[in-house]
């Protein structure tokens, strides 16, 4: 049954279009074990910046609603349960699991049936966090499992490292704090994709394998679906549910990853690379390559460009 947001008595405005709503008496449900913040970080805050850490226990009845969330919230459940709802879907976060609230999300959370839950949280902000999430293919990331001892320990070390940097507030550590934010998100992306691939339906696995084997093919998505004995609509649904992207977007990404390797590591002409990867001409290839990497093939081959880009 959907949550209600009635009785809100506290509102936190993050941006003109983003705000958090809190239930009446929310502050009384909290027991804070530790909280660290660091906001005076210009110009690093324009990139990726972990700016808030907390370790808190919530008891009793409460709720929070994040409306068009402006940051990235990483919340690891230590004790009890926390119930999240987004897009009409509810999920219970249990000990050893991490919930990721992404920019633009509308998320509602409250305690589970035990009416008690402890979490550690890191909030990451910055001018490019949304673009970074999209470039890492994390738009479908919500809940991740860190229940094995090694993974759990490595995850806690990341939380603890950021907490120490925020507590110190040393200007000379500003770049390191930003780097930790990048590293955290990259590790989560790797974890997310590993979990997603392990759960892929057999048909989607076959489609991905076929694409991997035929990166230079001129085959359309409709022709690929026919080869696999399914419909284009079914293939599109499987890709969006399993990988968070369309089949065409996934295929384009594979071709561009191959293009980066060929431009940087081979002596093939750009025309030859375009033909090998199925582009209609070298000019179109150059346009797509620049859109993907931020550089022309010529500049990238000269070593002046770098591609955009675990626990």
Give tens-digit pLDDT for 146-195.
Answer: 988 889 999 999 999 999 999 999 989 988 999 999 999 999 999 988 88
What's the pLDDT score for residue 14?
61
| Residues 135, 59 contacting (CB under 8 angstroms) | no
Task: Tell me, yes or no, whether 189 and 287 share the same domain.
Answer: no
What's the pLDDT score for residue 144?
94
Specify the 3-state DSSP secondary structure of 70. Answer: coil
Residue at a domain's end among 165, 183, 198: 198
Task: Tell me, yes or no, whether 46 and 160 share the same domain.
Answer: yes
Task: Tell me, yes or no, whether 194 and 207 share the same domain.
Answer: no
Task: Tell me, yes or no, whether 38 and 125 share the same domain.
Answer: yes
Residue at a domain's end among 167, 182, 198: 198
* DSSP 8-state code for residue 68: S
With a cut of 70, which residues of the chain have pLDDT below it? Answer: 1-16, 40-46, 215-218, 304-311
Q: What is the DSSP string of 123-143?
A: EEE-TTHHHHHHHTT-TT--E
Q: Give residue-wise pLDDT tens across range 89-112.
A: 899 999 999 999 998 889 999 999
Q: Which tokens sit at 241?
A: 């549910």
> With b meaning 16 or more CB within 10 Å and e meaning fewer, what string describes 240-273?
eebbbbebeebbeebbbebbbebbeeeeeebeeb
The count of other CB atoms within 10 Å of the CB of residue 168 is 14
Residue at a domain's end among 198, 215, 241: 198
19/23 Cα distance (integer angstroms): 14
What's the pLDDT score for residue 56?
97
176/109 Cα distance (integer angstroms): 31
42 φ/ψ angles, rounded to the nearest 5 degrees = -55, 135
Task: Tell me, yes or no, whether 97 and 156 share the same domain.
Answer: yes
Residue 43 lies in a domain: yes
Closest CA to 142 of 204, 67, 89: 89
Task: Tell me, yes or no, whether 248 and 192 share the same domain.
Answer: no
| Residues 62, 25 contacting (CB under 8 angstroms) | yes
Number of domains within the chain: 2
Q: Which tokens sit at 89?
A: 């879907």
Q: Which tokens sit at 58?
A: 């919530």
Task: Tell me, yes or no, whether 23 and 56 share the same domain.
Answer: yes
Sheet holding 72-80, edge to edge: 30-37, 49-59, 116-125, 72-80, 97-101, 143-145
Task: Tell me, yes or no, whether 265 and 170 share the same domain.
Answer: no
Cα angle value 309/187/250 (rounded, 5°): 50
- Residue 13 forms beta bridges with which residues? 19
Task: Tell me, yes or no, whether 221 and 260 share the same domain.
Answer: yes
- Tell me which residue range forms the domain holding 30: 8-198
| Residues 277, 215 contacting (CB under 8 angstroms) | yes
Task: Tell me, yes or no, whether 109 and 143 share the same domain.
Answer: yes
CATH number at residue 53: 2.60.120.280
Q: What is the DSSP string of 194-261?
A: HHHHHT--HHHHHHHHHHHHTTT----HHHHHHHTTS-HHHHHHHHHHHHSS-HHHHHHHHHHHHHHH
For 11, 93, 107, 167, the CA distances from 87, given in Å and listed in that order, are 21, 16, 8, 35
Closest CA to 111 of 102, 119, 121, 123: 119
Residue 1 lies in a domain: no
CATH number at residue 278: 1.10.10.60
What's the pLDDT score for residue 122?
97
**This prediction's pTM:** 0.65
């Amino acid at each position: 049954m959907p949550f209600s947001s009635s009785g809100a008595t506290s509102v936190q405005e993050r941006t003109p279009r983003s705000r958090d709503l809190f239930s009446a008496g929310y502050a009384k449900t909290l027991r804070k074990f530790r909280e660290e913040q660091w906001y005076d970080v210009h110009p690093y805050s324009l990139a990726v910046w972990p700016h808030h850490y907390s370790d808190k226990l919530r008891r009793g009845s409460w709720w929070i609603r994040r409306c068009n969330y402006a940051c990235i919230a990483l919340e690891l459940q230590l004790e009890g349960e926390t119930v999240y709802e987004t897009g009409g879907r509810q999920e219970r976060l249990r000990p050893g699991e991490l919930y990721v609230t992404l920019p633009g999300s509308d998320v509602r959370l409250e305690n589970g049936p035990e009416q008690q839950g402890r979490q550690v949280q890191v909030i990451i902000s910055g001018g490019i966090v949304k673009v970074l999430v999209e470039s890492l293919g994390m738009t479908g990331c919500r809940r991740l499992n860190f229940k094995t001892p090694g993974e759990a320990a490595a995850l806690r070390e990341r939380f603890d490292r950021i907490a120490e940097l925020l507590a110190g507030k040393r200007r000379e550590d500003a770049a390191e704090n930003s780097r930790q934010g990048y590293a955290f998100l990259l590790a989560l992306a790797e974890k997310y994709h590993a979990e997603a691939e392990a759960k892929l339906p057999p048909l989607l696995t076959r489609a991905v394998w076929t694409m991997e084997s035929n990166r230079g093919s001129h085959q359309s998505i409709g022709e690929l679906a026919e080869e696999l004995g399914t419909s284009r609509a079914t293939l599109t649904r499987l890709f969006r549910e399993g990988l968070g992207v369309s089949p065409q977007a996934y295929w384009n990404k594979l071709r561009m990853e191959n293009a980066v390797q060929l431009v940087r590591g081979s002596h093939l002409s750009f025309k030859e690379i375009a033909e090998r990867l199925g582009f209609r001409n070298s000019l179109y290839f150059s346009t797509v390559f620049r859109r993907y990497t931020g550089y022309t093939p010529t500049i990238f081959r000269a070593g002046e460009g770098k591609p955009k880009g675990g626990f």
